[in-house]
Amino acid sequence: MIQLIGIQVAAGVLGDLATSLATIFHVECRVRPDRLDVAIARDRLRNQFYSTAILQLMQPLAREDMRLLAVTSLDLYVPVLTFVFGEAQLQGACALVSTHRLREEFYGLPPRADLLRERLLKEAVHELGHTFGLRHCDDWECVMTSSHAVERLDVKGAGFCSGCWQHVAQALLPPPCPSSIGLRHNERQPV
């Protein structure tokens, strides 16, 4: 299951994203009502929020059998980079994406809700892909290709290439249920 949590973001944005993510990953996607206080992750000098610190704040809300994706309007950074669109725990439970630099207004252009929705979806699928253990993909159309600018984000698709999807589908398979393991074990017992 995928759960979404908003950090200073409109509820409508989360609802749309949840529907699209459920279609792409073929799993249930719910919006959590919780609020997360991330004031501690703010760097006063940069006037940005440290994404790794936000992931740590999300950790207590996460469970092993789900993915928790936070969506925020705050501008994110990691110390070595000017900004990040998002960050994820590789093969972990938590991921985070920001709409801040996905908006056309950020680049001095008129707002475009459709384009923002599309960019947010790609970024969300990409970061969730990392939580399923995927690294960056060489296929420029695959959502797992790295994109450090909106221009790059706009040319790639919102879906996985077949190789990446195979990996995700495998990770989404439910673990074998304990009763069936027990049964197989019993079968090996001498009669």
The residue ranges that bind Zn ion (CB under 5 A) are 137, 139, 142, 144, 161, 164
CA gap 160, 129 in Å, rounded: 9
Closer to Zn ion by CB, 75 or 123: give it.
123
Catalytic residue among 64, 87, 127, 187: 127
Beta-bridged to residue 84, according to DSSP, are: 76
- Give the sign of the dihedral formed by CA 137, CA 113, CA 105, CA 10: negative
Least gap, CB of 48 to Zn ion (angstroms): 19
Is the Cβ of residue 103 or residue 126 nearer to Zn ion in the bound state? 126
**In the numeric block, which tokens belong to residue 151?**
């221009």
**At a CB cut-off of 8 Å and minimum separation 6, what does 95 contact?**
55, 67, 68, 69, 70, 86, 87, 88, 89, 124, 127, 128, 130, 131
- The reply to whether 127 belongs to the active site is yes
Question: 32 vs 92, which CB is nearer to Zn ion?
Answer: 92
* Minimum distance, C-beta of residue 84 to Zn ion, in the bound complex (Å): 9
Active-site residue list: 127
